[in-house]
Amino acid sequence: MNAVARGLESAPTLGVASATGVEAHLVLAGPGARSLAFLLDWLIRTALALTYALLASRLILGNFRFDIGPDDEALWYLAGAMPATLIYLLYHLILEPLMAGRTPGKRLAGLRILTLDGLVPTSGALITRNIFRMIDSMPVFYVVGLLFVFFGRQHLRLGDIAAGTVLAVERAPFLEKLARWRRDLTAHGEWRAARQRAAALSRRRGTGVDDALAVVDDYRRAAHALATSRQTTSPARPAEYLEAVYSDLHDTVHRPARRLPLLLLSLFRDRIPDALSVMKVHILSVTLLFIVSTVTGAWLVYSYPDLIALFASPQLIATVERGELWTDGLLNVTPSAVLSVSILTNNIVVAFFAFCSGIVFGLGTFYLIGTNGLSLGAIFAFTTQHELGGRLFDFIAAHGFVELSCICIAGAAGSYLGEALIRPGERTRSEAFRAAAAEGIRVMLVVTLLLLICGFIEGYVSPDPEVPRWARLTIGVGYWLFMISLLRGYVFGRSRGGEIAI
């Protein structure tokens, strides 16, 4: 215990300005503490996912061996495998906002995510932090993230830099346990009661105006006591606990009120359209890149048909050469529900990877957009050479306008991120990166929602041969016009002049 306490004293700290004029000090978690918390969370989420999969296997398949028959395949995928995968993948994304910057593993390790101002991060910041796990986890075993943590002064991984967060040590609970271990039950009594009042107010259960005023008074008294303690050359032992309580009070007092309905309305009506307006040059550039690369891919295969082997698999080439599309009879092989979930998952991953790869100064984004455009053009040219271009267009018409637009918008957000790193302006590079990531995540939210609907269209409408071309075009163009209205904020009441309609 004493060794751990000494470790707290030697750990890096972050000073946070406050309204009282007395800085709150956050103790930042080092590589060891971060790795312990991650390992604990990994064990917990793996156990939860495996437990769910076993129970679902017993209920759906009647066994614990995952022996899947043809009749149970769709049900097992939707009610067994997919939920287990979501439990594993969305563990941090769901629990961190619900537990105010904690997870079970972080709580066991005594850690908590806070902003650079010492407050609980917003849901947007926590989502940003987790989205950039895609880069932090590359190439394997979180190599990129660990390099940032080991060599960064504040031990931040890339996701923390993008979200403006730190992983701090929760000192007060640890020091209370230490006092009980020493049987020093009278230590920190007054300030322990203050921390308990702050914790109750943070939970917003059974508290009122009087409780809030009491916490504000605790904050003022703690600031005075802490300032006095810091002026002494030999601080008393309770000062460390007072530092921790003051940080907790700072978080409680300065935490802004958040009204979710108003926040979502403001997001879709104002913030997302404003972010897209800032990125309009990037959207135009990425769209032109996609069009040019598509035309280039088509020209290459028209001129040199053998080059199709660079863009398509041997199975796809053989299928087209037989006069068939790989989409023919797709619903006979895969149920629509399974197909939809598979497609929308893939599209969302591609879009977020196009965004996150902008961290490589935009080069990763341009590579992904360029290669996707080349592949699309090449495959269209190849199918047209075998008189299948019209049928491929029919398959794409219902979902393709919005899906391709979303990929270009995600790429534009990635290039905006890359430009912030290349040209930070008057800000520091990390500040410019953080601001660009916040704008990009807002855009990616609406991209995700649009791609979800695209996935259902691609699973239920696009492969159905009974749907005529005019109906596919009506769905595709209508959905694209809805996308434009949504991105401009018109769906939620924004006026066409950019002013809020009253």
Q: Three-state DSSP class for 307?
A: helix
| Rounded CA separation 298/288 (Å) | 15
pLDDT in tens, the chain (502 residues): 455 455 555 678 899 998 888 999 999 999 999 999 999 999 999 999 999 999 999 898 888 877 787 777 888 888 999 999 999 999 999 999 999 999 999 999 999 999 999 999 999 999 999 999 999 999 888 999 999 999 988 899 999 999 999 999 998 888 888 777 776 656 667 888 898 899 888 877 667 888 889 999 999 999 999 998 888 755 445 588 889 999 999 999 988 877 888 889 999 999 999 999 999 999 999 999 999 999 999 999 999 999 999 999 999 999 999 999 988 877 676 777 788 888 889 999 999 999 999 999 999 999 999 999 999 999 999 999 999 999 999 999 999 999 999 999 999 999 999 999 999 999 999 999 999 999 999 999 999 999 999 999 999 999 999 999 999 999 999 999 999 999 999 999 886 655 443 3
Q: Three-state DSSP class for 304?
A: coil
Structure tokens at 128: 């940003």
Q: Three-state DSSP class for 368?
A: helix
| Rounded CA separation 495/373 (Å) | 35
- One DSSP character per residue, 371-433 reads HHHHHHHHHHHHHHHTT-HHHHHHHHHHHHHHHHHHHHHHHHHHHHHHHHHH--TTS-HHHHH
Residues 278 and 439 sit within 8 Å (Cβ to Cβ): yes
| Rounded CA separation 306/322 (Å) | 16
pLDDT at 69: 76
Give CA angle at 451 (446, 455), nearest 5°: 155
| Rounded CA separation 357/126 (Å) | 19
pLDDT tens digits for range 141-175: 899 999 999 998 889 999 999 999 999 999 888 88
Q: Give me the half-sphere count of Cα atoms (radius 13 Å) on the Cβ side of residue 94.
A: 7
- One DSSP character per residue, 132-169 reads THHHHTTTTTTHHHHHHHHHSTT---HHHHHHTEEEEE
Residues 456 and 412 sit within 8 Å (Cβ to Cβ): no
Q: Which residues pair with 166 in a beta bridge?
A: 114
Residues 167 and 190 sit within 8 Å (Cβ to Cβ): no
Q: Is the pTM of this model over 0.85?
A: yes
| Rounded CA separation 351/369 (Å) | 10
CA dihedral 397, 401, 406, 412 (to 10 degrees): 140
Task: State how far the alpha carbon of 366 is from the alpha carbons of 288, 363, 411, 415, 426, in Å.
Answer: 11, 5, 7, 8, 26
Q: Is the dihedral of CA 378, 379, 382, 388 positive or negative?
A: negative
The DSSP letter of residue 114 is E
pLDDT at 236: 47
Angle between helices 238-254 and 189-203 (to 10 degrees): 20
Q: What is the mean pLDDT of the chain?
A: 90
